[in-house]
Amino acid sequence: MASVLAAVLGLLLATSCATFGRPALEVDARARITQEGILAAQSIACDLGGFLADSPGRTGTSTQYQFSGWDLSHEDVLVLNYQGATASDLISVTYQQSGNQLLRYNSATGVTTTIATYVTGFSVEPNPDNVSQAWIQITVSFRYFTATYSLIGVSPI
């Protein structure tokens, strides 16, 4: 009798874990995907704000470190160009996927920063509706869930 009750109790415990545990894992997966998408979009939006963020100790005028254009010729790399301290100085910030990470590289500092993880796709091309804009797609996957974020980049100049 005790063995039967223990088996029934074990079955009820397993059922309740499956009933309440699976939705919690799904919420966690969807929250991770959303968080990574927000981080990627925020980083790109900050870089498209018109000026390159100032590094400690680097100062300049309003014409320095200004956005000067982008290169959309590579399907999987976003290249943003900024005017440096002199007219011949060009600073590039690139976004590209490496493995399951979206990386940002700043040519002025030589620093590569991981912007988002769980990235399974990153593409950049001119917007079909307006070729002066960039169409950026970021696909993020975690567990059994996938989300694709489409961003329209508008040049600040």
- How many structural domains does the chain have? 1
Q: Identify the pLDDT of residue 13.
A: 76
Give the residue with greater pLDDT, 14 vs 129.
Answer: 129
Return the residue matching tokens 């869930």: 145
pLDDT value at 122 more than 90: yes
**Do 137 and 37 form a contact (C-beta atoms < 8 A)?**
no
Give the residue with greater pLDDT, 132 vs 60.
Answer: 132
Q: Exposed (0-12), middle (13-18) or buried (19+): which is 147, by Cβ within 10 Å?
A: middle
**Distance separating alpha carbons of residues 65 and 19, to the nearest angstrom:** 54
List pLDDT tens digits, range 69-113.
Answer: 899 988 899 999 988 777 788 889 999 999 999 999 999 889 999
**Distance separating alpha carbons of residues 109 and 128, to the nearest angstrom:** 34
Structural domain boundaries enclosing 6: 2-154
Q: Identify the pLDDT of residue 89.
A: 83
**Do 4 and 12 form a contact (C-beta atoms < 8 A)?**
no
Give the residue with greater pLDDT, 87 vs 148.
Answer: 148
**Which of 48-57, 109-118, 129-138 is predicted least confidently?**
48-57
Q: Which of 82, 80, 83 is nearest to 96 (CA)?
A: 80
List pLDDT tens digits, range 25-79.
Answer: 788 888 999 999 999 999 999 888 877 765 665 566 666 778 888 999 888 999 9
